[in-house]
Amino acid sequence: MSEQPVLLRVRGLDVVYKGRRRRDDFPALRDVSFAVRRAETYGLVGESGSGKSTIGRAILGLVPVARGTIAFEQKDITGLRGRGRRRLAADIQVVFQDPYTSLNPSMEVEDILAEPLTIAGWTRSDARRRIAALLDDVRLPADSGRRLPREFSGGQRQRIAIARAMALQPKLIVCDEPVSALDLTTQELVLQLFVDIQEATGVSYLFITHDLAVVRHISHQVGVLYRGDLVEHGRADAVTSAPQHPYTQRLFMSAPVPDPARQAERRAQRRALADAPPRAV
Ligand SMILES: Nc1ncnc2c1ncn2[C@@H]1O[C@H](COP(=O)(O)OP(=O)(O)O)[C@@H](O)[C@H]1O
Ligand SMILES: [Mg+2]
């Protein structure tokens, strides 16, 4: 199978959160490099605080980049502001974790979905047709448009957020823990929706999660972030089945596996690894 072309390339990315004083500056990312290919999912995994969301924010232009470059379709978008950044919003969209706070509670679903279309200059009738198609794409009832977000379940709200992200047919969606707030059954359904949408449209995902089962399920490539360093990356099957870095090995061994014998074996391996320093490679 031939490789898909690169859509987004991050090279040598440093992000520093500024403190009040210089010595309070916090280096959240150090020398992070990876690429997201067209029609593929790059799964970014790591424990809480490792810098996953910071990578998403840097791509969306929400935090300043201290060093390195971000290129989208071969064009440098690092630090892009104003009109250029707004234009890019049609191509790069985002879905956040919390479907309760990311949707305006006082707007009907139809208006939530119409917003990006109206800003992009769509006519009312074109927008209405597009909204009907979007509701169908995310498998929400056709009459959802006249209802408020609170009338929907968590999984349905996340479908609304996905529909809004898809409205202008973006090429990349930054998905920051988009199923982490959902129960397991709903997670599976929403993950399958992400997969189906990708197959139908060729959209790429930067899929951020702390959940290894999720990353395994959805990713073509996987990157493992540990305290601001991308310590390992590669094809999803390779990284998830034969991790090389001690941190990744520990991380993947702590993922729940249903078989009790296998779990006991993993616990023993984890104890053995706990004695090794995490960054010894
Ligand atoms: N605005 C900020 N100012 C200072 N530090 C921050 C800010 N946002 C995040 N951080 C710190 O940067 C690190 C990475 O955060 P984040 O990217 O949100 O991690 P993750 O998404 O992997 O949980 C954390 O230690 C966090 O405390
Ligand atoms: Mg985060």
The whole-number pLDDT of residue 280 equals 35
The whole-number pLDDT of residue 57 equals 97
Domain assignment present for residue 143? The answer is yes
Q: Rounded to an integer, what distance in angstroms lies between the CA atom of residue 239 and that of residue 151?
A: 40
The whole-number pLDDT of residue 270 equals 61
Share of the chain above pLDDT 90, in %: 79
The whole-number pLDDT of residue 144 equals 97
The whole-number pLDDT of residue 75 equals 97
Q: Are residues 43 and 72 in the same domain?
A: yes
The whole-number pLDDT of residue 249 equals 85
pTM of the model: 0.90
Q: Are residues 227 and 108 in the same domain?
A: no
Taken in order 68, 72, 76, 79, the sign of the CA dihedral is negative
The whole-number pLDDT of residue 279 equals 40
Domain assignment present for residue 276? The answer is no
Q: Does residue 151 have a pLDDT over 60? A: yes
Alpha helices, DSSP H, located in 26-122? 52-59, 82-88, 109-119
Q: For the residues 57-73, what does the mean pLDDT come to?
A: 97
Q: Rounded to an integer, what distance in angstroms lies between the CA atom of residue 236 and that of residue 110?
A: 37
**CA max distance for the chain:** 64
The better pLDDT of the pair 280, 172 is held by 172
Q: pLDDT for 81-127, tens place per residue?
A: 999 999 999 999 999 998 778 899 999 999 999 999 999 999 999 99
Q: pLDDT for 190-211, tens place per residue?
A: 999 999 999 999 999 999 999 8
Distance from residue 47's CA to the centre of ligand 2 (Å) = 9
Ligand 2 ion: residues within 5 Å (CB):
53
User: pLDDT category, 250, cuts 50, 70, 90?
Assistant: confident
Distance from residue 184's CA to the centre of ligand 1 (Å) = 26
Rg (CA), the chain: 20
Protein residue whose Cα sits closest to atom 3 of ligand 1: 17
The whole-number pLDDT of residue 55 equals 98
Q: Are residues 72 and 110 in the same domain?
A: no
Strand partners, 83: none
User: pLDDT category, 274, cuts 50, 70, 90?
Assistant: low
Q: Among residues 94, 87, 66, which one has the least CA distance to residue 203?
A: 94
User: pLDDT category, 254, cuts 50, 70, 90?
Assistant: low
30 touches 228 (CB < 8 A) = yes
Q: Rounded to an integer, what distance in angstroms lies between the CA atom of residue 116 and that of residue 145?
A: 15
- Residue 121, phi-psi category: left (phi > 0), alpha (psi -120 to 50), beta (remainder): left
Q: Does residue 278 have a pLDDT over 50? A: no
Q: Rounded to an integer, what distance in angstroms lies between the CA atom of residue 130 and that of residue 141?
A: 15
Expressed as residue numbers, the domain containing 66 is 1-91+170-242
In this structure, the residues whose C-beta lies within 6 A of any atom of ligand 1 are: 17, 26, 28, 46, 48-54
Q: Rounded to an integer, what distance in angstroms lies between the CA atom of residue 128 and that of residue 111?
A: 10
CATH of the domain at 212: 3.40.50.300
Alpha helices, DSSP H, located in 93-233? 109-119, 124-137, 154-166, 184-201, 212-218
Q: Rounded to an integer, what distance in angstroms lies between the CA atom of residue 22 and that of residue 120?
A: 41
Which atom from ligand 1 is nearest to the alpha carbon of 48?
A: 23
Which atom from ligand 1 is nearest to the alpha carbon of 225?
A: 22
Q: Are residues 111 and 68 in the same domain?
A: no
User: pLDDT category, 257, cuts 50, 70, 90?
Assistant: low
Q: Are residues 164 and 43 in the same domain?
A: no
DSSP state of 158: H
Number of domains composing the chain: 2
Which atom from ligand 1 is nearest to the alpha carbon of 210?
A: 22
Which atom from ligand 1 is nearest to the alpha carbon of 47?
A: 22
Of the bound ligands, which one is closest to the alpha carbon of residue 44?
1
Protein residue whose Cα sits closest to atom 6 of ligand 1: 17
The whole-number pLDDT of residue 281 equals 32
